Amino acid sequence: MTTVITVLLLFIAASGTIFLLLVSYAEKRRIKQRITQFFPYHEKPEVPSESVKKTSVSNKLVNKISAIFKNVQFNEGTEKLLLEAGSKLKPEDFFAIRLLSAAGIGLVGLIIGLPWYFNTLVVIIGFALPKIFLKRKRKKRLAFVNYQLIEVLGMMANSMRAGFSFMQAMQLVGKEIPDPLGPEFERVIRQAGLGVPLEDVFEEMEKRLPNKELEVVIRAILAQRRSGGNLAELLETMEETIRGRVRILEELNTLTAQGRMSSWIITLLPVGLGLYLALVNREYFSPMLEHPLGWMMMFVASVSIIIGWVVIQKIIRIEV
């Protein structure tokens, strides 16, 4: 009994000591972060690490490949996708990354020993992966605009009530708000300072960030500047409206989460099972790849999976 009590006391003492050390470390780290935030010149120069060197090597490879396609005319969809995703890549750089992705995944397939038809499919998927990731980045970036708009409109309304002009309020937003809206408002201020009409500047901003809420805000601001009125009150009204829309969208995402998960499971389960059988027991799965009846069954199964995916996406996609 005495041994148990001694062990328990030692455990409590050790836990308390570790807790105090962690609290002290967290407090020092918080103070250091605040000092770095307000006095950035205290930061030490970064020493290039191995990862940075590797990144530079990969950048050189991408630049060499993209130089081959420098004079190639890419479609407007690629340029629009890069612009809306906030990527600094050029179309030829993005195409070079897609080629490298396809070649890398195809090489892995050859090393593993996949059949040529599977390896062809893998190469196609590798070529499409960068575009899929960029589309997801664009979707997240444009969705984040809704949350930033609430903060931006509130900041501009409070600034104008405090005596700021409209341009000064936008300049404050450009300094305080991070990407994507902050740099966009800075760009608006720079272009307006060069004499570009505000209507044209906002139209370009709308093209770079095709968001419905942002479009409504821009149209309301331009209409107010033509007709007059209390802009601060208008901004507060739009803030409440967008806050309500964002709340409804979050509730819809919660209600449709089960449907989205079901779509992934239903779509990937037969594909994963087929790959597992092809790799683990190739003799059992070989009739599906070598017999015409197996080809027909795989074709029908693929079409059914695609139709099921489209139908589920139609069901769970609700426009607000």
Q: Whole-angstrom Cα distance, residue 179 to residue 145?
A: 9
- 259 close to 315: Cβ distance less than 8 angstroms: yes
Residue 229 pLDDT > 70, yes or no? yes
Q: Whole-angstrom Cα distance, residue 2 to residue 176?
A: 61
- Coil, strand or helix at 114: coil
> Is residue 206 packed enough to be buried (19+ CB in 10 Å), middle (13-18) or exposed (0-12)?
middle
- 202 close to 177: Cβ distance less than 8 angstroms: no
What residue ranges do the domains of the chain occupy?
76-140, 142-243, 256-316
Q: Whole-angstrom Cα distance, residue 237 to residue 234?
A: 5
> pLDDT band at residue 227, thresholds of 50, 70 and 90?
confident
Kindly state the percentage of the chain with pLDDT values over 90: 38
Local structure of residue 307 (DSSP, 8 states): H
Residue whose tokens read 């809206």: 181
> pLDDT band at residue 44, thresholds of 50, 70 and 90?
very low
Tell me the CATH class for 142-243. mainly alpha
- 213 close to 242: Cβ distance less than 8 angstroms: yes
Q: What is the pLDDT of residue 11?
A: 57
Q: Closest by alpha carbon to 205, among 169, 177, 181? A: 181
- 221 close to 157: Cβ distance less than 8 angstroms: no
> Is residue 305 packed enough to be buried (19+ CB in 10 Å), middle (13-18) or exposed (0-12)?
middle
- 94 close to 130: Cβ distance less than 8 angstroms: yes
Residue 47 pLDDT > 70, yes or no? no
- Residue-wise pLDDT for 193-222, tens only, equals 899 998 999 999 988 899 989 999 999 999
- 101 close to 133: Cβ distance less than 8 angstroms: no
Higher pLDDT, 261 or 14: 261
Task: Look over the chain and give the mean of its residue pLDDT values, rounded to a whole number.
Answer: 83
pTM: 0.69
- Residue-wise pLDDT for 178-196, tens only, equals 989 999 999 999 999 899 9
Q: Read off the tokens for 123.
A: 């190469």
Sequence-ordered list of residues with C-beta below 8 angstroms from that of 172, at least 6 positions apart, any chain: 155, 156, 159, 164
User: Three-state secondary structure along 204-222?
Assistant: HHHHHCCCHHHHHHHHHHH
Angle between helices 231-255 and 212-227 (to 10 degrees): 170
